[in-house]
Every structure is written in structure tokens, then in C-alpha cells.
Amino acid sequence: MPYATVMKTGTLRDVSALAGVIPTRDRGLVWFAIINRGPQVSAFRTNQDQLLQSIVKQLEVAPHIPSTITPHSPKYFSPELGAASRNDILLLAKNNS
């Protein structure tokens, strides 16, 4: 995918989704969402990629990253996924009625 494109994929059972934003030269940020449903989930990914490549050829990618989609976290910041310090223990009161 083109430089600075932000995307998220998702699959749930027989649904495949791809959504995101492409910074373009003449049209600014172009937001998209592609949702497919059916038994060919792996084929959906290929078709989604081909559709985006076609769109990118027509729209021409922006020469630089717009500040609105530039990460604002410190360089190389990565949250400690799975770290115990990110978990909260919740105690539920038992209902005795």
C-alpha cells in the first residue's frame, strides 16, 4: 500500500472488512471502507487489495504525510501489550437477594 496509508482489517466468520484513509495529492484524505460477506474470505482480501491499488493509481498519493494522520506518540513508542500493569482487577459484589 502507498506510503502513509492507514488501514485496519477485520474478519468475523464470513465477513471481511478493510477500512482506512489514503492521503491523495489533489483530493486530500480519502476515507474508505470495504465490507464483503460470503464463504470466500481469503479471496475477499485479494480483491480488496486490487481495488485499493486501482484507486491509488487514479488518485495519486500525496507527496508528504498530512499532520492529521501523523502519529503523535514518541518515536518508536509501542505499548506493552499483555503487560500486567495494563490490567485492572474488578471485584463484583455478590447479590444475596
Judged by DSSP in three states, 30 sits in strand
pTM for this one?
Answer: 0.66
| Cell triple for 17 | 472488512
Q: Count, in order, helices (H) and strands (E) of the chain.
A: 1, 3
Beta strand spans in 1-97 (E): 6-12, 15-24, 28-37
The pLDDT profile of the chain, 97 residues, written as one tens digit per residue, is 767 788 899 999 899 999 999 998 889 999 999 999 999 888 998 999 899 888 888 888 888 888 888 776 666 666 676 777 777 777 777 776 6
Query: Distance between CA 16 and CA 36 in Å, rounded?
Result: 5
